[in-house]
């Protein structure tokens, strides 16, 4: 990995930037909603369009990167992301806001999976898990810190976060174009992978064991639950508990700090102590209890504590599931990671749509539905624990 460290660091930064942009919109949604008189359903659609565009474009972009190379796709994706953020900053009508989110989703489809592929290309088998872990941490870190940063920047004006994201994006685009290098060994690796394709036919059947199906289901549920909770969080606490922009920003910033500590410093220690499956089970249980607690809360302190527990649970849940998946097979990592990303995107589309529609009906319904789904997922973890995944040799 030594000679490719600079390229890998650039990839990590690009992933972080894109995922930062996904989260920037969250704390300002109630203010956009109120200023332009949008419904919660319309806000849910706006949030979901990003993930939907990413889901649709990802396989097409994958083929493009095979033909054109990884670097051109990543650079164009960063440039496209700048366009989406600037459009959002000047938008005043719902169709323009939606167009911005669609373009943003397309840019994420260009940058995130292509970065993962190039990160794999640039590393040996020995270092690959570490590098993919760094890229995943960048993905999570951007999603974690985006809402907090967006809330702080929105104290200037609620459009400021998007101007800042656009400027950062074009800076990253130029930096990537100048300094990112694709290793010459990529072609050799691609040839080796092509030779393996024939041997990997039927791998979908090979990975669809009962515990694996359950884990894939948990990926869908965790992304659905997080987006179902997070996409309307600012609107919910603003309407029900009269949280202002400063309070929302404080909560999301505290969450970012706690979550980064948990993921960077505590995650491996927790896994060593209790294992992935028990952590997944505890995370589903705590998140279900605390989502329900918010619907019954009477004070700001209760809401803040419950929120921090929920976000922390999700921030441990997703890497725990991914880590368990990567242990299942050495030869099917591409397929497994692809299904992981696709199911995450599906959950990211469904969650905001469901929450927005239910909130227009009754303020508390979205979180009650999320509570039930998370509770069912907690019970399903016992099925997986009875049929444990055996790590691949």
- Using the 8-state DSSP alphabet, how is residue 313 labeled? H
Which residue matches tokens 């806001």? 97
Shared domain for 110 and 232, answered yes or no, is no
Domain boundary among 200, 217, 247: 200
Tell me, yes or no, whether 118 and 13 share the same domain. yes
As a whole number of angstroms, the distance between CA 273 and CA 276 comes to 9
* Structural domain range at position 33: 1-200
Q: What share of the chain is helix, strand, coil (3-state, %, to 5)?
A: 85, 0, 15
| Least trusted range by pLDDT, from 111-120, 302-311, 324-333 | 324-333
| pLDDT category of residue 301 using cuts at 50, 70 and 90 | very high
pLDDT tens-digit readout, 216-257: 777 777 778 877 888 788 889 988 999 887 788 788 778 877
Do 177 and 236 fall into the same domain?
Answer: no
Last residue of a domain, one of 152, 180, 200: 200
pTM of the model: 0.68
- The Cα 6–Cα 175 span in angstroms is 11
d(CA 355, CA 371): 12
Q: What is the CATH number of the domain that holds 3?
A: 1.20.1250.20
* Same domain as 210, residue 183: no
Pair (224, 174) in one structural domain: no
Q: How many CA atoms lie within 13 A of 306 on its CB side?
A: 23
**What is the C-alpha to C-alpha distance for residues 96 and 178, in angstroms, rounded to an integer?**
32
Indicate if 214 and 112 belong to the same structural domain. Answer: no
Task: Let me know how long the chain is.
Answer: 393
CA angle, 294 then 300 then 304, to 5°: 65
Same domain, 133 and 226: no
DSSP E strands in 32-93: the ranges are: none
CA 232 to chain centre: 16
Q: What is the pLDDT of residues 102-143, one digit of tens each?
A: 998 898 888 877 787 777 677 765 666 566 667 766 776 777
- Tens digit of each residue's pLDDT (9 = 90 or more) over 248-300: 878 877 887 787 788 777 877 888 888 888 998 999 999 999 999 999 998 99
Joined together, the tokens standing for residue 185 give 């060994």
At 199, is the pLDDT very low, low, confident or very high (cuts 50, 70, 90)?
A: very low
- For residues 195 and 221, membership in a common domain is answered with no
Residues 192, 286: one domain? no
User: 165, 200, 235: which is the final residue of a domain?
Assistant: 200
Q: Is the dihedral of CA 347, 350, 356, 357 positive or negative?
A: negative
Which is nearest to 288 in space by CA: 371, 373, 178, 189?
371
| Residues 145 and 248 grouped into a single domain | no
* Count of CB atoms situated within 10 Å of the CB of 133: 15
Do 153 and 176 have their domain in common? yes
> Residue 317 pLDDT more than 90?
no
What total number of domains does the chain contain? 2
**DSSP assignment string, 171-206:** HHHHHHHHH----THHHHHHHHHHHHHGGGTTHHHH
Model pLDDT for residues 60-90, shown as the tens digit of each residue = 777 777 777 788 989 999 999 999 999 999 9
Residues 59 and 12 in one domain: yes
């Amino acid at each position: 990995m030594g000679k490719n460290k600079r390229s890998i660091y650039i990839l990590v930064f690009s992933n972080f930037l894109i995922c930062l942009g996904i989260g920037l919109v969250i704390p300002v949604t109630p203010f956009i909603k109120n200023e332009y008189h949008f419904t919660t359903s319309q806000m849910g659609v706006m949030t979901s369009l990003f993930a939907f565009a990413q889901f649709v474009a990802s396989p097409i972009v994958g083929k493009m990167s095979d033909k054109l190379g990884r670097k051109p796709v990543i650079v164009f994706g960063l440039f496209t992301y700048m366009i989406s953020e600037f459009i959002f900053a000047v938008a005043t009508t719902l169709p323009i806001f939606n167009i911005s989110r669609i373009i943003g989703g397309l840019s994420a489809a260009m940058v995130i999976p292509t970065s993962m592929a190039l990160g794999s290309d640039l590393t040996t088998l020995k270092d690959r898990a570490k590098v993919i872990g760094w890229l995943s941490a960048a993905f999570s870190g951007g999603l974690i810190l985006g809402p907090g940063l967006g809330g702080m920047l929105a104290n200037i004006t609620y459009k400021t976060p998007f101007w800042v994201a656009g400027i950062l994006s074009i800076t990253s685009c130029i930096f990537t174009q100048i300094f990112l290098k694709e290793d010459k060994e990529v072609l050799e690796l691609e040839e080796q992978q092509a030779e393996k394709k024939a041997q990997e036919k039927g791998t979908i059947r090979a990975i669809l064991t009962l515990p694996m199906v359950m884990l894939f289901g948990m990926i869908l549920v965790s992304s659905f639950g997080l987006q179902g909770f997070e996409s309307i969080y600012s609107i919910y606490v603003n309407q029900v508990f009269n949280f202002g922009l400063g309070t929302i920003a404080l909560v999301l910033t505290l969450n970012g700090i706690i979550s980064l500590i948990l993921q960077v410093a505590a995650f491996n220690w927790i896994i060593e102590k209790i294992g992935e499956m028990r952590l997944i089970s505890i995370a589903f249980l705590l998140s279900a209890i605390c989502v329900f607690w918010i619907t019954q809360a009477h004070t700001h302190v209760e809401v803040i504590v419950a929120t921090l527990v929920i976000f922390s649970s999700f921030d441990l849940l997703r890497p725990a599931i991914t880590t368990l998946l990567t242990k299942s097979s050495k030869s099917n990592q591409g397929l497994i990671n692809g299904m992981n990303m696709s199911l995450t995107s599906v959950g990211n589309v469904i969650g905001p749509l469901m929450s927005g529609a239910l909130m227009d009906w009754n303020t508390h319904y979205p979180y009650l539905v999320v509570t039930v789904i998370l509770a069912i997922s907690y019970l399903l973890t016992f099925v997986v624990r009875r049929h444990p995944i055996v790590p691949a040799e």
